């Protein structure tokens, strides 16, 4: 049953990645692009975990953890740069 | 793989539900007319969808004979802690940059009333 559901879930997440990419390329404001990039990170984590189930290995979950960390730091740094003009004073 | 049937059905349901909810959140990100509305979709729906997917993966790898899997728990906790923080930062930056709300917004943010276009534009120009 998992083998049946897994391609459907991967297809839905790929559709979400395409919609986030649309918002990232089109977004009228800079903040729309930042939000699209943040959502792209979160969906990429889910795609990595689904690929881990598909390959039946836990080796690539550290990469997902790293992407989560770097995505959060990047989002906060970009928002902070837009508010203050610099990140670390 | 020798998972019992009910566990396999539960994992499949969690994976499917997570994928559907995350796709709905990304659809909201792509289709909503306004930044303040677009902020709602990913920060709530995508977090819930990815959380469901992580829970399914955690059940799958914990019961497939290699011991409890900690990485999914770490990723889920980290996402649930950091998603509201990053959404708050983006909303604050949007208010600071005076991103326009949509025309029909009731009770727009202070100073961003669409009916008072030139006044808020001049104050935004003087703030930079």
Which has more pLDDT, B48 or B101? Answer: B48
Query: Can you give the length of chain A in residues?
Result: 89
Cα torsion B87, B93, B97, B98: sign: positive
Contacts of A83 in chain B (CB under 8 A): 89, 92-93, 96
Name the residue of chain B whose CA is nearest to A26's CA.
B30
Instruction: Report pLDDT digits (tens) over A38-83.
Output: 999 999 999 999 999 898 888 888 899 999 999 999 999 999 998 8
pLDDT at B125 over 50: no
Give the residue carrying structure tokens 């709300």.
B101
Look at residue B126 in the predicted model and tell me its pLDDT: 42
Q: Which helix (H) or strand (E) element contains residue A21? A: helix A2-26
- Is the confidence metric ipTM above 0.95 for this complex? no
| Cβ neighbour number for residue A66 with a 10 Å cutoff | 11
Look at residue A11 in the predicted model and tell me its pLDDT: 94
Q: How far apart are CA B124 and CA B121, in angstroms?
A: 5
- On whether the CB atoms of residues B41 and B32 are closer than 8 A, the answer is yes
Is-above-0.90 flag for pTM?
Answer: no
Average pLDDT over residues B97-122: 66
Angle between helix axes A30-55 and B70-97 (nearest 10 degrees) is 170
Look at residue B13 in the predicted model and tell me its pLDDT: 93
Which of B90, B91, B97, B101 best probes binding to A when mutated, by most A CB atoms within 10 angstroms?
A: B90
CA distance B17 to chain A (A): 9
Which has more pLDDT, B60 or B125? Answer: B60
Contact status of B94 with chain A (Cβ, < 8 Å): yes
- Closest Cβ–Cβ partner in A10, A29, A49 for B99: A29
- Closest Cβ–Cβ partner in B30, B69, B96 for A19: B30
Q: What percentage of residues in chain B have a pLDDT greater than 90?
A: 30
Instruction: Report pLDDT digits (tens) over A27-43.
Output: 788 999 999 999 999 99
CB within 8 Å: B42 and A58: no
Helix intervals (H) in B1-128: 5-31, 35-38, 40, 47-62, 70-97, 117-127
User: pLDDT band at residue B85, thresholds of 50, 70 and 90?
Assistant: very high
List the structure tokens of B54.
């992580």
Look at residue B122 in the predicted model and tell me its pLDDT: 45
Average pLDDT over residues B40-54: 88
CA distance B39 to chain A (A): 7
Contact status of B37 with chain A (Cβ, < 8 Å): no
User: pLDDT band at residue A9, thresholds of 50, 70 and 90?
Assistant: very high
Helix intervals (H) in A1-89: 2-26, 30-55, 61-84
- Closest Cβ–Cβ partner in B18, B29, B86 for A20: B29
Look at residue A87 in the predicted model and tell me its pLDDT: 75
Contact status of B102 with chain A (Cβ, < 8 Å): no
| Cβ neighbour number for residue B25 with a 10 Å cutoff | 27
Which has more pLDDT, B9 or B64? Answer: B9
pLDDT at B1 over 60: no
Which residue, A43, A69, A70, A64, is CA-closest to B45? A43
- Closest Cβ–Cβ partner in B54, B96, B97 for A49: B54
């Amino acid at each position: 049953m998992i083998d049946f559901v897994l391609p459907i879930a991967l297809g839905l997440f790929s559709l979400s990645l395409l919609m986030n990419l649309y918002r990232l390329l089109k977004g009228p404001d800079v903040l729309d692009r930042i939000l699209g990039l943040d959502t792209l990170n979160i969906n990429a984590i889910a795609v990595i975990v689904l690929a881990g189930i598909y390959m039946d290995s836990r080796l690539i979950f550290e990469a997902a953890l790293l992407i989560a960390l770097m995505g959060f730091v990047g989002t906060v740094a970009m928002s902070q740069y837009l508010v203050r003009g610099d990140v670390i004073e | 793989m020798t998972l019992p049937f009910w566990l396999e059905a539960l994992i499949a349901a969690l994976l499917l539900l997570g994928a559907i909810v995350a796709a709905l959140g990304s659809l909201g990100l792509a289709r909503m007319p306004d930044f303040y509305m677009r902020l709602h979709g990913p920060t709530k729906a995508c977090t819930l969808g990815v959380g469901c997917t992580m829970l399914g993966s955690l059940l799958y790898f914990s019961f497939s004979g290699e011991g409890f899997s900690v990485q999914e728990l770490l990723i889920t906790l980290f996402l649930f802690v950091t998603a509201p923080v990053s959404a708050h930062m983006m909303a604050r930056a949007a208010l600071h940059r005076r991103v326009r709300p949509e025309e029909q917004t009731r009770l727009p943010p202070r100073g961003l009333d669409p009916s008072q276009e030139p006044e808020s534009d001049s104050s935004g120009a003087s703030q930079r």
